[in-house]
Amino acid sequence: MPIPGNLLTTAMGVMPHLDAERALEIALSVDVPYWPQLPNYSYYEDMYVQAGEHFPGILLDLDKRTLKFSMDKFILELEETLGHFEEPAYFDISKEYSVVYHKFLEMDLSDRPAIRGQLEGPISFGFNVLDQDERPILFDDTVRPFMFEFMAKRINVQLSRLKALNKNAFMFVDEPGLQFLFSSMAGYNDLKAKGELDLFFSTVDGPRGIHLCGNPDWDFLLGLDMDILSLDIHTNAEIFSSYAPAIKRFLDNDGVLVWGIVPTGFEIFAKENMDTLAAQLENVWQTLAKKGIDIPHMLARSMLSPATCCLVNPDKEKTVESAFVIVQNLSKILRDKYKLY
């Protein structure tokens, strides 16, 4: 099983640090490390900006910290971009867009159970980036198919580089925008999204899956062809627990769940401790067990992580770093309790 389970730890990609070396040190403290994204360090490191490197039509303003799109510019640049479509290096993240990614690629990570990368997914990128008419580019029938293909290439080249470091490398496709997919937004319905996401995942190398902190349609999400799902269970415990049949199908199809249990927000974190967090998590597991899910099988296919990223705490990165320590300690306690070795 290339993606480990047994309640090993990983974390979300975005971190609040201004010190890149320190951020990498913390990212390496979990069992399955990753390269962190540091938007407070540089706007180049914003997850949408990183995903948009070399995307035709992008208007990036580093001073104003804005990322927009121009159809006229897209038309002018598309031919040049297509000319690079068979050049993997063109779709990789450059040193300018991530100070940490290339440091990570230089490390010996072969002894880790796995390593992980991430890239913003096409749904969220398409929702977030607006064209000259202030309309999400996801709704544009010309841009959208190209965007799906472009992002698949970016994910595949990153995964290829990570697998050279560790054969069990896998990717998170970060998709916070999936929670808005079933809103009243005109221009892109769930049936079209399901078909295009299925096609997208068929072109994305594995292992790969989705990370998000919001509350999407879990039946929809768990039905996608993916290997791993990372979610904020601290916030969404009750509603996620109500989707036991979909969760069981996902686990029975060898899916792995990453339970984001430790909050990283300053005020919420202060209200929790090891006992309360363990109780919350085990309550979810017991609820699912009553609905027919085998706990040993589920835990063998489970990891732990912080619940969300957080960039705006009054104590900067202190709470986030504390959350990483709690995740590691919680993992040890639960692994001992459930005899996961």
* Average pLDDT per block of 10 residues along the chain, 341 residues long: 92 96 98 97 97 98 97 97 96 96 97 98 95 94 96 98 97 90 66 87 95 91 94 96 97 97 96 97 98 97 96 95 98 97 81
Nearest to 227 by CA among 278, 128, 159, 151: 159
Domains contained in the chain, CATH given: 8-337 (3.20.20.210)
CA–CA dist 19, 21 (Å, integer): 6
DSSP summary character for residue 33: -
Supply 132's token pair.
């000259």
Q: What share of the chain is helix, strand, coil (3-state, %, to 5)?
A: 45, 15, 40
Cβ atoms 127, 178 nearer than 8 A: no
Dihedral angle over CA of 76, 81, 82, 88, nearest 10 = 180
List of residues 6+ apart from 169 with CB closer than 8 A: 114, 115, 116, 117, 159, 162, 163
Supply 122's token pair.
């096409």
